[in-house]
Amino acid sequence: MTRLREYLRPNTVDQALAAKQERGTTARYLAGGTDLVVFKPADVTCAIDITRLDLAGVHTENGALVIGATTLLRDIERHPAVAGITAGALLEALRETGPWLIRNQATLAGNLCNASPAADSAPMLLALDAELVLSDGRVIALDRFFVGPHRTILRDELVLELRLHPRDRAGSYHKQARSKSDIALVDVAVTARRENGRFTEVRVALACVAPTPIRARETEALLEGRAVDEELLSAVERSVRQEIRPIDDWRTTAAYRSHAAGVLTRRAVAALAAK
Amino acid sequence: MILHLTINGREQAVDCEPYETLLNLLRRVGFTGAKRVCESGECGACAVLVDGRAVDSCIMLAAQADGSRVTTVEGLGDLRDLSAVQTAFADNGAVQCGFCIPGMIVAATSYLEENPEPTEEQIRHVFVGNLCRCTGYVKPVEAVLTAARRMRSGGNGD
Amino acid sequence: MATELRVVGTPARKVDAAKLVTGYGTFTDDFFLPGMLHAKILTSPHAHARITRIDTSRAADHPGVHAAISHHDVARIPYTSAGQSWPEPSPYDQYILDSKVRFVGDYVAVVAAETPEAAEDALGLIDVEYEVLPPVLDMHDSMRPGAPVIHDEPESHGMYDAERNVAAHIEVEVGAVADGVTEADTVVSEDYFVQYQQHTCLEPHVTIAWLDEDGRLVLRTSTQIPYHCRRMVAFALDIPVRDVHVIKPRVGGGFGNKQEVVTEPLAAVLAIKTRRPVKLEYTRRDEFTIARMRHPQHLTMTVGARRDGSITATHMKVLTNTGPYGTHALTVTGNTGSKPLPLYRSPNIRFEADIVYTNLPISGAFRGYGAPQGFFALESAIDEMALALGSDPLEFRRANHIRKGDTDPVSAALAEGSAKKPRVMRSNGLPECLERGSEAIGWTAKRRGGMPLRPNEGPLVRGLGMCCLMQGSGVAGDELAAASIKMNEDASFTLMLGSADIGTGSDTTLAQIAAEVLGVPLEKILVRSGDTDHVTFDYGAYASSTAYITGQSVLKAAEDARRQIVSVAGQMLQEDAEALLVADERVSSSSGKTVTLQEIVMECLYGEEKTLISGRGTHATKESPPPFVAMFVEVEVDIEMGTIRPIHLVTAIDIGKALNPAICEGQVEGAVTQSLGYALTEEIVLSPEGRVLNPTFMDYKILCAADMPKLTTILVEDPEPTGPFGAKSVAEVAINGPAPAIANAVHDAVGIRLRHLPMTPDKVLEALGRL
């Protein structure tokens, strides 16, 4: 059994990168650390604590919300700019990423780097065109960041910050789980701008219905420029079910996930139309 | 590695291994109020305050708390000088086996500092990460409401 | 005694509350002995296998390891881990370490080392070879001809029919059920399936074992049964009982999981072998895989009734999965019949059960002890029958339930204790429970009656359901409790109890009884409990026995002490002892003469006629009066998502006397919450090879604070003449209700019957034809 043998706390990004490059996959960056300590990944013997790298903080910049990588979920929630985005749907999604105690010590960036197919924050972030800024200068859209279950494009790079682009969208978020303290069975987030009763810049994103959190682009196209009526809502429900690839697991069946994803997406769109 | 922590107001230098969790370190230096239940951050029985934030100590490496102020349940009150939250829990039947209670008291105490006038719904939301198998959460939630009321009116109910 | 109660009946603060809220309360693991070793267990990856070769020598040589042992190193003595009175009604089919493994997780070897890390690393150095055997992974296969025999070893005994994998068998009939079915105008007969549920005590199983200065084995352990533990460990290790000392400190939840010797035997063996203190603690994963669970069952419930609403027959047939060992096999399933079946008057009652072995996790005692399963079946069937007859389920139950003064013939036939006389209902507050409970939920106004959904109704539909319940108070004829009280120099008293407070507040409740009788405030009673060297004998915390049985022994001990006090006071006051009153920490005569307890004790200890005030009481009884419950629940069903959301759950419970109302409410609230999980979210999920797939709190879902419906608890008191201050039990009965009440409410809302627990959204949608 591998246990941590080394704990490093570099003071600069360069120091952190050097330490990681030297050790490769035997080292992991640690911010909140909540996933690292629980999952104890095999062969990891070094933790590189990045909380001294001055990467915490939230600010707005040209309409984008910029979240430093080591910002705790609790601090993101409390930032005055956040509650207004999508009139509270983003805040709702953030509060579903884990219990209050966990949000006091976990980071949003860390949650994304863990890349669970069921990441509760991911659908709403995808629906807000989230991007990650990496230490090598690349800016990666979130839906390209996830590669597979618990796999991202990262090698030794550090995530420096997360950028969201709300663009005055309204939003609706639904999570279905066995209890209020559970990994989701299905997560859905829908955002859109509304002009003259029609939806534009529609985003439909889901988690737990594919190897990674995904955008349902065909369903988005179905909604783009349209006004919502009963027929469209039924079409949305059917379209989402076509786009997703849920699996049977011991939590629930693919059939249930598929059914629930359709219902929740329809409800999210209807809620958006009603707002 | 040698850590320097302030635990319940007293500075301590403690030797530890990189893999040791804050929970195990605290229990081994004598603060057994925080409990080992799940070791995966799911139940809150290990909750302590680190620099004023309530966290699950079982999923924090001890090393992460180097240079920090740590407060355990023992630091919130004493047997003959219970805090307002502790008094409320003791008085209204909120304590059954008691194993989840230190974590609940740490979480509640911290939350009331942020929000002195919580609703029942807000308290239940805070307690999502504090699992209990004995009480059904009924009296613990009532205890937090009672403590909040008393603290706002200036007493601690003793 | 003063006619108005001063301490009993009040929601007094628990005697251990202060130390629990400050974190000072010491549980088993909050304790450290110099040189203490840490034990880790090597467990089986196979559901059924023989260990053909095992060599622990490399592990034993690992730095820091003091012992690494297998079945080669332990005497082969069959025993049962089930904590019951002697002779235990469970098969003796377990061995501390065996050469055969019978479920995934079964013990293979154990290591004790100076650090947990060294012990863990040493496990990897144990060489094991298995001959994998075909497993029995479904209880329906256990008795098939040619099924693998799980207990083929000659030394085990007490199984009903080991060749056919039957641990126990029950068959009981009152009247003739076949005739009763024939006489019926309507018959309802259905199958019900209930799952493995895990207790999830927050505190895992943990034992610290060591040899004291006299070479006696000390077990500091998280247990519900200190005295049974002592006897059983002594037996399993073949050492005299007097050489075993069990200490039960604070316990972080038991619920039946600790009504067994789970970690004690292995910890003891290691302590003896290494001559060091050894701590053996289950991880949370161990709790979900190798601790105990509620027995899964397949029940067939048949009810026959006449058009006029009278019941002619009740027939319950059960297949129970006891897992690889028969702990509590006979008695849990005995309760599945004996607790529910007497509830409704029927001239013909039949109960039959096979309790079979499988190579799946171990089933054991779990709050309710077989009754939750039985009530799920019975109360669903009764509901269905009521509606089939065109009756209101409330009225149908009112017309048919057992009455005060009735005799319960089922209990006599099935009684798990040695009492074979029928129970007479000397107290029965069920009518009042039905009245007050139905009003609290709004029964008449809100029932939907399974009406079809109207077109403009949204996807959220509400419904009401109910059930009635009864349990027992202790095991009839098979309980013994004792208490002793000594008076201290400051006129306080020390109450010594063998009972086990596992969070139930029994130390407090029993202290209240003593304080009431002795005329002192609660703070003047110091409680010492659960240490077999220092307190009196008691069977322990199970079967809802402590308040009712130990309570009577405390009453007797306190009355004994009071008699002695009054006798001394009589001499001091020159008054007739008969005419003296004890209250407010003094003894007074009607003429106004008075002497304080403080003065009395000083006289006793240091005065002219020296004596010691010391009271004793023991209690055993053939009675086991049932508490009664009427439970009502309002649910909201989302017919598109399949979710069942309980909105309001009302428990009206007749407990005879609420000795401490806050504790009584807390017991109900906790039991209901555990059962809401049983009904809706909790199940141990197994792989096709018999491995637990969800052994964490994230994956095995118990309810959290934000999931809770509104709970209303109504305490009803119909005094029980045989109970202390009229009290019966409260600890278990409410756990039987939420599953059938919710199933009945779902039927009321949307017209479907769910007979498989837990009632998950996919099952709802399938029953609605929407998936």
Q: What is the architecture, at CATH level 2, of domain C293-452+623-767?
A: 2-Layer Sandwich (3.30)
> Where along chain B do its domains lie?
2-76, 84-152
Q: Is C770 on the interface with A (CB under 8 A)?
A: yes
| Interval C713-722: pLDDT, tens | 999 999 999 9
> Which residue in chain B has the smallest CA separation from A102?
B55
Cross-chain Cβ contact C662/B45 below 8 Å: no
Predicted ipTM? 0.97
Q: Is C13 on the interface with B (CB under 8 A)?
A: yes
Q: Is C641 on the interface with A (CB under 8 A)?
A: yes
Spell out which residues of chain A touch residue B59, defining contact as CB-CB under 8 Å.
33-34, 37-38, 105
Tokens of C370: 């077989």
Least confident of A253-257, C393-397, C416-420, C649-653: C416-420
Of A9, A74, A100, the CB nearest to B129: A100
SS3 C191: strand
Cross-chain Cβ contact B134/C666 below 8 Å: yes
> Where along chain A do its domains lie?
6-49, 58-164, 170-274
Spell out which residues of chain A touch residue B54, defining contact as CB-CB under 8 Å.
100-101, 104
Torsion angle (degrees, nearest 10) of CA C152, C156, C162, C166: -130
* Distance of alpha carbon C610 from alpha carbon C601, whole angstroms: 10
> Which subunits count as partners of chain A given 3+ CB pairs below 8 Å?
B, C
SS3 C560: helix
Q: How far is C641 from chain A (nearest CA, A)?
A: 6
Report the helix count and the strand count for chain A, using DSSP H and E: 12, 14
Question: Mean pLDDT, to the nearest integer, of C693-697?
Answer: 98
Confidence at residue C415, expressed as pLDDT on a 0 to 100 scale:
54
CATH number of the A6-49 domain: 3.30.43
Tokens of C51: 């260990």
Task: Indicate the CATH number of B84-152 among 1.10.150.120, 1.10.10.60, 3.40.50.1820, 1.10.3720.10.
Answer: 1.10.150.120
Task: Indicate the CATH number of C480-619 among 3.30.1490.190, 3.40.605.10, 3.30.365.10, 3.30.70.3270.
Answer: 3.30.365.10
Contacts of C122 (CB under 8 A, 6+ apart): C40, C59, C60, C62, C64, C65, C68, C111, C113
Cross-chain Cβ contact B133/C670 below 8 Å: yes
Cross-chain Cβ contact C18/B42 below 8 Å: no
* Distance of alpha carbon A218 from alpha carbon A232, whole angstroms: 13
Q: How far is B67 from chain C (nearest CA, A)?
A: 24
Ramachandran bin of C60, using left for φ above 0, alpha for ψ from -120 to 50, beta for the remaining angles: alpha
CA C526-C531-C534 angle, to 5 degrees, is: 70
Query: What's the CATH fold of domain A170-274?
Result: Enolase-like; domain 1 (3.30.390)
Of A3, A37, A51, the CB nearest to B59: A37
| Interval C578-611: pLDDT, tens | 889 999 999 999 999 999 999 999 999 999 989 9
Spell out which residues of chain A touch residue C121, defining contact as CB-CB under 8 Å.
1
Cross-chain Cβ contact A4/B61 below 8 Å: yes
Spell out which chain A residues touch chain B, with contact meaning CB-CB distance below 8 angstroms: 3-7, 9, 30, 33-34, 37-38, 47, 49, 51, 72, 74, 95, 98-102, 104-105, 180-181
CB contact at 8 A, C258 and C541: no
Confidence at residue C514, expressed as pLDDT on a 0 to 100 scale:
98
Question: Mean pLDDT, to the nearest integer, of C669-686?
Answer: 98
Q: How far is B2 from chain A (nearest CA, A)?
A: 12
Supply the pTM of this predicted model: 0.97
- Please name the residue ranges forming H helices in C38-141: 57-61, 116-123
Of B59, B63, B126, the CB nearest to A7: B63
Of B34, B77, B133, the CB nearest to C202: B133
3-state helix, strand, coil in chain C (%, to 5): 30, 25, 45
Exposure string over C97-136, b if 16+ CB within 10 A, otherwise e: bbbbbbbbbbbbbbbbbbeebbbebbbebbebebeebebb
> pLDDT tier at C2 (50, 70, 90 boundaries)?
very low
| Interval C408-451: pLDDT, tens | 888 767 654 555 678 899 999 999 999 999 999 999 888 887 77
Low-confidence ranges of chain B (pLDDT < 70): 155-158
Cross-chain Cβ contact A4/B56 below 8 Å: no
**What type of residue is B28?**
R
Q: Is C21 on the interface with B (CB under 8 A)?
A: yes
End-to-end CA gap in chain C: 66
Q: How far is B106 from chain A (nearest CA, A)?
A: 10
Q: Is C30 on the interface with B (CB under 8 A)?
A: yes
> Which residue in chain C has the smallest CA separation from B20?
C117
CB contact at 8 A, C470 and C629: yes
> Which residue in chain A has the smallest CA separation from C125?
A1
Q: Is B43 on the interface with C (CB under 8 A)?
A: yes
Q: How far is A146 from chain B (nearest CA, A)?
A: 24
C701, C757, C763, C764: best to mutate for the A interface, most A CBs within 10 A: C701
Equal CATH topology for B2-76 and B84-152: no
Q: Where are the beta strands (DSSP E) in chain B?
A: 2-7, 10-15, 47-50, 53-56, 69-71
CATH superfamily of C37-133+200-289: Aldehyde oxidase/xanthine dehydrogenase, a/b hammerhead (3.90.1170.50)
Q: Is C503 on the interface with B (CB under 8 A)?
A: yes
Cross-chain Cβ contact C704/B78 below 8 Å: no
Confidence at residue C752, expressed as pLDDT on a 0 to 100 scale:
96
- Count Cβ atoms within 10 A of the Cβ of residue C574 and give its class: 0-12 exposed, 13-18 middle, 19 or more buried: exposed
> pLDDT tier at C1 (50, 70, 90 boundaries)?
very low
Tokens of C169: 């068998």
Cross-chain Cβ contact B35/C27 below 8 Å: yes
Task: Indicate the CATH number of A58-164 among 3.40.50.2000, 3.40.50.720, 3.30.465.10, 3.50.30.10.
Answer: 3.30.465.10
Torsion angle (degrees, nearest 10) of CA C715, C721, C725, C727: -40
Cross-chain Cβ contact B134/C505 below 8 Å: no
Q: How far is B81 from chain A (nearest CA, A)?
A: 26
Low-confidence ranges of chain A (pLDDT < 50): none
Q: How far is A205 from chain C (nearest CA, A)?
A: 19
Of C643, C698, C704, the CB nearest to A183: C698
> Which subunits count as partners of chain B given 3+ CB pairs below 8 Å?
A, C
- Count Cβ atoms within 10 A of the Cβ of residue B81 and give its class: 0-12 exposed, 13-18 middle, 19 or more buried: exposed
Q: Is C283 on the interface with B (CB under 8 A)?
A: yes
Confidence at residue C266, expressed as pLDDT on a 0 to 100 scale:
98
| Interval C137-153: pLDDT, tens | 999 999 999 999 999 99
Spell out which residues of chain B touch residue C200, defining contact as CB-CB under 8 Å.
131, 133
Spell out which residues of chain A touch residue C694, defining contact as CB-CB under 8 Å.
250
| Interval A1-32: pLDDT, tens | 679 999 999 999 999 999 999 999 999 999 99
Overall CATH class of domain B2-76:
alpha beta
Equal CATH topology for C37-133+200-289 and C293-452+623-767: no
Of A1, A176, A180, the CB nearest to C704: A180
Question: Mean pLDDT, to the nearest integer, of C554-569?
Answer: 97
Reported as half-sphere exposure (CB side, CA atoms, 13 A), residue A110 has a value of: 26
> Where along chain C do its domains lie?
37-133+200-289, 293-452+623-767, 480-619
